[in-house]
Structures are given as structure tokens and as C-alpha cells.
Amino acid sequence: MDIKTEHRYAINLNVRGIQPSATLRINELSNQLKSEGKDIIKLGLGQSPFPVPDRVVDALREHAHEKDYLPVKGLKGLREAIAGYINRSERMRCSWEDVLIGPGSKELLFILQLAYYGDLLIPRPSWVSYAPQARIIGRSVHWLPTHAENNWQLTAEELDIVCRDDPSRPRILILNYPSNPTGCTYTDDQLLAIANVARKYRLILLSDEIYGEVNFEGKHKSIARYYPEGTIISTGLSKWAGAGGWRLGAFIFPPELRPLLDAMAIIASETFTSTSAPIQYAGITAFNGGDDIDEYLLQSRRVLKVIGEYVHRRLSEVGAVVQKPEGAFYLFPDFSGFREQLAKKDIKTSQAFCQALIENTGVAILPASDFGFVPDHLAARLAFVDFDGTEALNLASGDYAEADLGDEFVQKACPRLVKAMDKMAAWLNSL
């Protein structure tokens, strides 16, 4: 054989046909375009704009010298702090032994699916990484229908319809609220009804409550109150404490699912070993809370609520159909009313819509097709996070401490979001 002959290997990859995470992809594209001198308003990646609370940063600094490998399940002090946090906020009685720490809740979700053999039930629309993770592992994914008229919320009836034909089949149901991508949340009655169906079919229910603390009214309630024996609560520091890059997540299990926690810990021991030691020590301060943390959350919620209401109104005025957010920092506008005008420009999919939007306006958002919809569903997720979170908090707690927040505040604190709405309105009106 000629030694110069090119060798080609047929490599059968588990990730064949799967693209990199949509949120990270849009962030990298936005940064690339900005580096080329283009003015890009980044409403794609859902990264909290707020700073990490000062006392938590101080705790990280104080523990920067911590270099030892910590226990696989996590630092006992942190597990105790998280158990205390859950017990205070949800009036539950979990112990530190019910808590598993990981390098982000995303990683814990992945190893949950490795440890538990079951189908994944995901309400549509959903966060971009649930389904791809299942596909990488080889699990079956079943999309559960939801409807705009019901704020894209899963109903107990729809869940029962999916489960009743094979009632003993092992399944994991993911419930994420306040929702990424819609910003909507569930009422107590809705949670109770879903919990009853989950109990009926003995589902493992992963309650992704990473945005729970940024419920605008501060009234988040976990479905674990209604289905304690089968619910795993997922939380972390990324969304409410502004610490996405710190990569600290936690799962809180009921005692009935302790074998599943132990199985996940075995996988963790053979993969990530343990979560960063300094981050875990700092996490104790965050989850123990205090008056300063409470004030930080109060002002964060005030700011996010007024921005969400502003963006909702602006999108509605231009002709998009969009649900009013109740938490997190997302909206999910539907632009189907522009379908005819868009088709004349050969824009027929949500992906093409978002591509045309960033090219014509510099506004980066994510297409509905990244959240479980068919390509021609002309909706998108908008993350209203392109503003200086430190400045916004200072303004809210200073000049506006005794005043209601409104458009004047948004214009002062979030000029790039105002600019984004102006640009989107002008482009849509020009079609």
C-alpha cells in the first residue's frame, strides 16, 4: 500500500446529527459578530445579568486555597445548607443526606438519565438540552403537548393520556418552572393535579426549579410539596445568584429515591469526581442566605418583572402573540401573524427568521425549533438579559427604592433592550 494513501475511518459517533447547545452556539456567534465590529444585542444566551452577591464572592475569595478533593456527593456543610434552604422555603423535612452536588444541574441531569433507565417525558416547549442529552445516552423522548392558550403549561390530562396505555413503563417527567423558554409558571391547583397523575403512574419527577427564586412575586412553590416521594428538586447558583460560570448545581432527593442518589454518585465518582472545592465552600454562604441575600433577590425580582412587562408590551404592540412572563428572564413570542410577509422574503422557518433578524437588526434570539417545535413554527425565545445588572440593582435600590419601576427605569437601566425593541419593531413593520 502506498504510504501516502489517505486513510479514512468510519467513526460511529453517539452525537451524530446533534448540534452544539443552541444557547452556547448563539452566544459564540454573537461574540464573533461583536469582535468583527458589529453591534449585536445579545438576547440569545440566558445568562443572569446580575453580579454574584458580595458576601458570596468574599466567601469564594476566603476559600480559594481549598484544594483537596471533596466527597463525591458534595461537601457536608454545603449539603446541610441546601437542605436547610429547601426546608425553609418549601416547609419540607429533607436531610443533608438527601442532597447531591454536581458541577451544574445540567451534568446532574445527564447522569440521572444514565443511572435510571426510563423514557424522558418533556413538555413542549422545553429547555434546549433536555432532549439532546437523552439522545446522546440513547433514551426515548416523548414530547408532551402544551398550548399557548394555557401559557404553554402541561396539564394533568395530557400527562395521563401519554401514560395510560403503558402504565408501568419507567419514565422521568421533567417539569421546569418558571419556564425556560416562556417565563410562565404553574398554579398550586395545576401542580397538585400533575402530582396526582405522577403518583398514579409512579413517575420519577424531576422538578427543575433553577429559576424558582426569580419568580417575580417571590412565591415559587415546589411540586415536591404534593408528590414528595417521587420528586427530585433541581437547583443551583446560576440563575438566582448570577453564578452561571461557577458551575454548581444540586439535586434534592426524597428518602424513597436514595438508591437513585447512590447510583448517580457512583457515576459521578467515575466521571467528574467532585465539584470544585472553593465553589462549594462559597455555596454555603449563598444557600444559608441572610438579609443581604433577601434584599438582592427582592431587587432582582423587581428589575426582572418591570423589564419582562416592558418587553411583553412592546412585542404585543408590534403584532407578536406572547404570554406575559411570571418569572425568569424569558419570553416566547409567536410571529405567525407575519407569515405571509416573511414568506415573500423566503423566510419560512423560525431558524430563518432568527437569522434574518440578526442580519438586519443585530438582535440575537433563538428559534422555536431549538425548543422542540417543528421548523415552520414561527416563534422564538427572547432572553431579556443584555443590560448592566449591577447598575440596574443600584438604581432600583437607590433612586427608585421608594418608587414603582416603570418605563423610565427601563430606559435608564436597560437602554440596549429598548434599542432591541425599537429595532425589532422597525424591521417587522417594514416587511
Q: What is the pLDDT at residue 19?
A: 60
Do residues 333 and 375 both lie within one domain?
Answer: yes
**Are both 252 and 307 inside the same structural domain?**
no
Q: 10 lies in a domain?
A: no
What is the domain extent for residue 175? 55-288
Last residue within a domain, chosen from 242, 266, 288: 288
Look at the alpha carbons of 297, 300, 304, 306 in this order and tell me if their dihedral is positive or negative.
Answer: positive
Assigned domain for 324 exists = yes
Q: Residue 1 — pLDDT band, cuts 50, 70, 90?
A: very low
The predicted-structure confidence for 115-170, as pLDDT tens digits, reads as follows 999 999 999 999 888 888 888 888 899 999 999 999 999 999 999 999 998 999 99
Q: Domain of 40: which CATH number?
A: 3.90.1150.10
- Is there a contact between 253 and 232 (Cβ–Cβ < 8 Å)? yes
Alpha-helical segments (H) within 155-289: 156-164, 188-200, 258-269, 277-288
Is 33 inside any structural domain?
Answer: yes
In a domain, 387, yes or no: yes
Confidence of residue 38 (pLDDT cuts 50, 70, 90): confident
The per-residue pLDDT for range 218-246, each reduced to its tens digit, is: 999 999 999 999 999 999 999 999 999 99
Within 10 angstroms of residue 244's Cβ, the number of other Cβ atoms is 17
Assign 46 a pLDDT band (cuts: 50, 70, 90): confident
Q: What is the chain's mean pLDDT, rounded?
A: 93
Give the pLDDT score at 305.
Answer: 98
Q: Give the pLDDT score at 148.
A: 93
Q: Are residues 229 and 365 in the same domain?
A: no
Shared-domain flag, residues 95 and 238: yes
pLDDT per position as a tens digit, 271-286: 999 999 999 999 999 9
Give 206's contacts (C-beta < 8 A, 6+ positions apart).
109, 112, 172, 173, 174, 175, 231, 232, 234
Q: State whether 109 and 257 are in the same domain.
A: yes
Each residue's pLDDT tens digit, 261-271: 999 999 999 99
CA distances from 359 to 403, 426, 427 (A): 39, 14, 11
Angle, CA 296 vertex, CA 291 and CA 298 arms, to 5°: 90
- Are residues 332 and 195 both part of a single domain? no
134 and 272 in a common domain = yes
Give the Å distances, CA to CA, from 316 to 99, 310, 324, 365, 413. 42, 10, 10, 17, 22
One domain for residues 119 and 177: yes
Task: Let me know if residue 7 belongs to a domain.
Answer: no
| Total domain count, the chain | 2
Question: Is the per-residue pLDDT at 29 higher than 90?
Answer: no
* Residue that finishes a domain, picked among 265, 288, 311: 288
> What's the CA gap between 346 and 98, in Å, rounded?
53
Q: Is residue 14 part of a domain?
A: no
Co-location of 344 and 398 in the same domain: yes
Residue 16 inside a domain? The answer is: no
Whether residues 325 and 210 fall in one domain? no
pTM comes to 0.92
Q: How confident is the model at residue 33 (pLDDT cuts 50, 70, 90)?
A: confident
Residue 199 in domain: yes
| 247 plus 304 within the same structural domain | no
* pLDDT, tens digit (0-9, with 9 covering 90-100), for 170-228: 999 999 999 999 999 999 999 999 999 999 999 999 999 999 999 999 999 999 999 99
State the pLDDT at residue 132. 87
Mean pLDDT score, 297-301: 97
Q: Identify whether the C-beta of residue 222 lies closer than 8 Å to the C-beta of residue 90.
A: yes
Same domain, 164 and 304: no
In the prediction, which pLDDT does 5 show? 47
What confidence score (pLDDT) does residue 8 get?
58
Task: Read off the amino acid at residue 347.
Answer: I
**Domain of residue 262, CATH code:** 3.40.640.10
Among the three residues 263, 288, 313, which one is the final residue of a domain in this structure?
288
